[in-house]
A and B are shown apart, each in its own frame.
Chain A
Amino acid sequence: MIMSFYIELIANPTFAYQGILFFLSISLLLTSFEEILNKDIYQKRGILSFDISKLNNKWMLNTKIGRFLTLLMNENIFIFLLYLKAICSVYLLILSFDTSYSPWILMLLLMNNILSTLRSPYGLDGAHQLQFMILLSLSVLSFNHTSMMMHYICFGFISMQLILAYFIAGLGKILSPVWRGSYGLLLVFSTNSYGNEFIFNQFNRHRFLTAVLSWSVILFEMSFVGVLLLPINLGLILCFLGIGFHLFNAIFMGLNNFFFTFLSAYPALFFLLCKIHG
């Protein structure tokens, strides 16, 4: 009874849209606050000084659109855009409790994401890339939200990006002798950037445990490709494993933005799972 209620709820396209918006707005809000706190990096003497990074993009200096974008990416306007991103994210969070669609806010956030990508490739991670993909598809959806087919297309696109993210990561690992030899996890956790001293010591002491966990990560990532084709119970188990995987990464690897950004793609996948399995 309760299960069927939840399945009916997540099979509702508007509810799935709201779920995506909710987690996406949290991830965007966190990203924008972290960027605002580090705003010195975008200044003339910062590590992401635009005076230098634009030298890498000759088209910015030689074309009209490039020169216009250059204006938007100079440090003062760009920092203003970071504040605008934070405000839009708060607004998006509020909107996620409402059933209305919000194309212009999503378009503003999408433009903001595009400008960050064009300004400099340094410091952008998988969370930023997934945010772009979700913002792109939700912007398209919110302009065409009356079409049920458009919901399938946009949620299908988000789900496929999520599946590809795991599958490509798993494939890359299984083709790598470092990961096949079970050294991948040990090496990652040996750094301070993504590692953790306690976990590293455990992995270093218990090599069998490291091997089991390394192969579990590879098998989980590779098997995720079957999430839509497997029976719904197995599909849901894979989804919850995925969420747990990101929670572990947030706790022990400091990948906090990945957690909320990847979580925001899951309502789209849940929606498709329910539709495929009736």
Chain B
Amino acid sequence: MGILFFSLFFVSILILTILKECPKLDSFFNKYHIIASFLPNWSFFAPIPGMHDYILRIRYYDEKGEQPSDWKILQKKIEKRSYISIFWNPKKKLSKILFDVINDLIQFNNKVRDLNYLRLSTPYLQLLNFINGREHPDSKKYIQFSIFRYSRIYKEELLFQSDIHPIE
């Protein structure tokens, strides 16, 4: 009985793993996103691989509507990896999370194209919260962030600019 149950259980997971790759079933998996989050996504770097790195920049305002400060890089560009990263690569964790959050924000932005709606989205709030959590000069009251993308092939370009928010 146990063998039959677990066989069916594992076969179901394998079938769902395959079905998750079908674009036609996206709406089904979006509806049951909790189940989908446990299913693997095996289409590594396909169909279109990530071809950019992102840079997060911020600038300050003393008062809303006044002249802003210059853009300042908040998240450093990823430096060259050392060869020890074959075994130990802790920097990858934050850079992967930021990459995912920014990717999600950009995709959502491409869909809605409405900053009022976008600033209530999880990736926008996560980024704003992360930026607010950094140290800022006491004299500054407002902050704005922007996302740039670049690679060894493509020149740096502005991808997204946020609303102006009070520093919490």
Contacts and interface: CB of A to CB of B under 8 A. Distances in A.
B90 A172 contact: no
B108 interface: no
B89 interface: yes
B112 to A, nearest CB: 16
B130 A190 contact: no
Contact of B97 (A122, A157, A173, A250): A122
B157 to A, nearest CB: 14
A251 B49 contact: no
A192 B153 CA distance: 11
Interface string B41-58: 111111111111100000
Interface residues of A, number: 78
B24 to A, nearest CB: 14
A195 interface: yes
A133 B40 contact: yes
A117 B122 contact: no
Interface string B2-23: 1100110010011001100100
A49 B126 contact: yes
B129 A193 contact: no
B14 A184 contact: no
A35 B152 contact: no
B88 A256 contact: yes
B31 interface: no
A175 B23 CA distance: 13
B96 A125 contact: yes
B94 interface: yes
Interface string A238-255: 000000000000110010
Given A118-B37, A254-B92, A191 B18 contact: no
Interface in A99-139: 114, 117-118, 121-123, 125-126, 129-130, 132-133, 137
Contacts of B95: 193
A240 B104 CA distance: 36
A161 B94 CA distance: 27
A186 B133 CA distance: 36
Size bin of chain B's contact surface = 35 or more
B89 A34 contact: yes
Contacts of B98: 47
B93 A191 contact: no
Interface in A16-42: 30, 33-35, 37-38, 41
Contacts of B151: 187, 190-191, 195
A164 B15 CA distance: 10
A38 B90 contact: yes
A118 B37 CA distance: 8
B14 to A, nearest CB: 5
B122 A41 contact: no
Contacts of A208: none
Interface of A: 30, 33-35, 37-38, 41, 43-49, 51-53, 55-57, 59, 114, 117-118, 121-123, 125-126, 129-130, 132-133, 137, 140, 144, 147, 149-150, 153-154, 156-157, 160-161, 164-169, 171-173, 175-176, 178-179, 184, 186-197, 200, 250-251, 254, 256-257, 259
Interface of B: 2-3, 6-7, 10, 13-14, 17-18, 21, 34, 37-53, 77-81, 83, 85-90, 92-101, 104, 122, 125-127, 129-130, 132-133, 151-154
Given A41-B93, A164-B42, A176-B47, 14 more contacts: A34-B88, A38-B93, A45-B129, A49-B130, A52-B122, A117-B38, A144-B6, A154-B10, A172-B46, A192-B78, A197-B152, A250-B87, A254-B85, A257-B89
17 contacts: A41-B97, A45-B129, A46-B129, A49-B130, A57-B34, A121-B37, A126-B42, A132-B40, A133-B40, A169-B45, A173-B47, A175-B46, A178-B49, A188-B49, A192-B53, A197-B80, A256-B89
